[in-house]
Structure 1
Amino acid sequence: MSLFKNIFGSSDESENSSKMSWTQLTDLGQLNEIIDLSTTKPVLIFKHSTRCSISRMALKQFENEFDLEEKVTPYFLDLLENRSISNEIATRFDVEHQSPQLILIKDGKAIYNVSHSDIQVDDLRTKL
């Protein structure tokens, strides 16, 4: 059991053990904030399913490689706790819902949208 926990993590682990300074996306009103912020600095939204090992692995890899603190403001969405926000993101930014998913918002529009193994910091860097 501990071998699997070491590889995949446990589902009851705190998701806040990241070195990143995520802003938790927990309220629909924050989408207006994201749109406003994105006119001066790009905003990324990472949609994560806390019960999915693939999502957990994508998140950990992204966090380990992330070095764009000065260039982008990161928001984190716990998909299971905030499905209505995820649905609104799909509508407002005209993106298909996926999980895990990374969406880059600039000037109020989604300019980059990837999921699963396509979530790569190097690829994100080219969009900034």
Structure 2
Amino acid sequence: MFKHSTRCPISAAAHREWSAFLAGPEAERADHFWVRVIQERPVSLALASRVGVPHQSPQVLLIRDGRAVWHASHYAITAGRLKAALDQAAAQR
């Protein structure tokens, strides 16, 4: 799940990394969703409450069985880290 602010340059950089991740074969290993935090504020806040991870923007959450098993925000969002998080989550199954 990628939480994106359409008004933030840091979020724009994170969106490029998210897009790079989605362009690779790893993206097919998991469902992926995008929430625009300004336009879809209630969804963003409900998500934060439901998975127990405080809201940040930009933010990426890897959710399994209804809980966040990994998350990153701001410049920690990179295609490489997304792939590594997915690999680690798969190894823990």
TM interval, shorter chain, is 0.7 to 0.9
Residue 118 (structure 1) aligned with residue 76 (structure 2) = yes
Could you state the TM-score of these two structures normalised by the residue count of structure 1?
0.61
Q: Superposition pairs for residues 1-128 of structure 1, below 5 Å?
A: 45-66=1-22, 67=24, 68-128=26-86
- SS of the equivalent of 1:73 reads coil
Q: Distance in 1 between matches of 2:39 and 2:10?
A: 18
Q: Which ranges in structure 2 are unaligned for 5 or more consecutive residues?
A: 87-93
- SS of the equivalent of 1:70 reads helix
Q: Distance in 1 between matches of 2:85 and 2:59?
A: 16
- SS of the equivalent of 1:69 reads helix
Q: Which ranges in structure 1 are unaligned for 5 or more consecutive residues?
A: 1-44
1:111 alignment partner AA: V
Displacement after TM superposition at 1:108 (Å): 1.5
Displacement after TM superposition at 1:74 (Å): 1.0
1:121 alignment partner AA: A
Q: 1:117 to 1:64 in 2, by over 3 A?
A: same
Displacement after TM superposition at 1:101 (Å): 0.4
Rg comparison, structure with higher value: 1
Q: Distance in 1 between matches of 2:82 and 2:17?
A: 13
Aligned residues: 84
